[in-house]
């Protein structure tokens, strides 16, 4: 017996595109700007909280941990699915403080 059938890359791409457009704002800063912006501790805590909210929303939508096996809490999808997500999410806000150093 085989496991559940994977969502096609095209279906995944459409689902990701639809969710991203409905839930994420435009990316207004570069990666380095977002990590090195001067500010006080309160501003940093606010930015980290926003990143945590974004990461939770992506996870809840099935758009986090794309290639991580399901037994470890991921989606268990393919590198092609991850590539499709990367292409669709380009230009939108992402939780850089949480994703870039670890999963990208």
pLDDT greater than 50 at residue 2: no
Give the pLDDT confidence of 23-76 residue by residue, as tens digits: 999 987 765 565 556 667 888 788 889 889 999 999 999 999 999 999 999 999
Residue 63 to residues 35, 45, 86, 101, Cα–Cα distance (Å): 23, 24, 10, 17
Give the pLDDT confidence of 15-28 residue by residue, as tens digits: 999 999 999 999 87
Nearest to 92 by CA among 23, 13, 32, 36: 23
């Amino acid at each position: 017996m085989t496991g559940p059938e994977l969502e096609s890359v095209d279906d995944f791409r459409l689902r990701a595109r639809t969710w991203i457009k409905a839930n994420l704002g435009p990316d207004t800063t570069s990666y380095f700007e977002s990590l090195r912006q001067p500010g006080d501790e309160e501003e940093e805590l606010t930015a980290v909280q926003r990143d945590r909210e974004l990461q939770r929303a992506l996870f809840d939508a099935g758009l986090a941990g794309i290639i991580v096996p399901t037994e470890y809490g991921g989606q268990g999808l393919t590198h092609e699915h991850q590539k499709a997500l990367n292409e669709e999410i380009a230009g939108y806000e992402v939780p850089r403080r949480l994703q870039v150093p670890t999963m990208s």
